[in-house]
Every structure is written in C-alpha cells, then in structure tokens.
Amino acid sequence: MSVPSTPPPPPGPDSRRSRFAEKLLPGGTEPDPRFTLANERTFLAWIRTSLALLAGGIAVEAFTTDVFPEPIRRGLSVLLLLLGMLLSAGSAVRWLRVEASLRSNRPLPLPLIGPLLAAGCAVAAAVVIAVVVLA
C-alpha cells in the first residue's frame, strides 16, 4: 500500500468516537481511513476463512454418515468447529491489535492466527489421510 497522501488528523481525543471504541482503542490518532478500511477487509477475509472451517465441520457431521466411522466423524467435526471458533475470536483480536498499531504508528503485529490455521488444517488433513489409508 502506498504512503498516505492525506494529511494526518489532528491529535487529541475525538468526541465522535463511541465509548466502546474509546475503551478498546485508547490513545493514538485516527490512522488514514484507507488503512482502517483495509484492516476491516483483512478481518473479513479471516472471518470468511473461519466460516469455511465452521461450514466444513458442520458438513462433515451432516453429510458423511456413510463415509467415516462415528468417532472419527465426530472428532473431525469438532476439530474443525473448534478451529473455526478459535480463528473467529483470533481474527477479532488481530483486527484490534492492528488497529491499535495503526493508531500509534507502530509496526503491525505478526499474525498468530496464520500458524494456527496452518497447523489445524494439517492435523485435520492428517486425520483424513490416516482414516483413508487405514480403512
């Protein structure tokens, strides 16, 4: 993303912010609006990723009755649902941390939910492979 061309907003507390926002994101100044919107879209991309995992978890339980034995099916479904829940909560936390970094002009935090997603998907895939190979 290019360097913002708009002038920085004036410092100081802003009466237009809600008390909720004031409490969660204290201090700093409002960043370039385009960065705030980009952060929001990144959050939404993470949320859609977590929704895909939730949908996968629901689908495994709902549609694979004849494919997987019951304990495997339930385990896989719960694993995907828990991963989706963790990722949903984590994406909100990440959104907040990025927004706080933008407000105080600090470097952006590393996405901890990235490794979480990779590890969770690897475990789920390993379970499916094991079931297919051992079946």
Q: Which of 98, 100, 96 has the alpha carbon at shortest distance from 110?
A: 98
Instruction: Indicate the residue among 18 and 134 with the shorter CB distance to another protein.
Output: 18
Distances (CA, A) of 73 to 30, 60, 78, 114, 117: 47, 7, 9, 25, 20
Q: For residue 72, state whether it binds another protein (rule: CB under 8 A).
A: no
- The rounded distance, in Å, linking the Cα atoms of 66 and 20 is 48
CB neighbours of 100 closer than 8 A, spacing ≥ 6? Answer: 25, 28, 106
Q: For residue 97, state whether it binds another protein (rule: CB under 8 A).
A: no
2-31: which residues touch another protein (CB under 8 A)? 6-9, 14, 16-18, 20-21, 24-25, 30
Q: How distant is the alpha carbon of residue 117 from its chain centre? A: 9
Q: For residue 40, state whether it binds another protein (rule: CB under 8 A).
A: yes
Q: How far is the CB of 53 from another protein (least distance, A)?
A: 8
Q: How far is the CB of 67 from another protein (least distance, A)?
A: 15
Residues forming the site for another protein (CB under 8 A): 6-9, 14, 16-18, 20-21, 24-25, 30, 32-34, 36-41, 43-45, 47-48, 50-52, 54-55, 57-59, 61-63, 74, 77-78, 81-82, 84-85, 88-89, 91-92, 95, 99
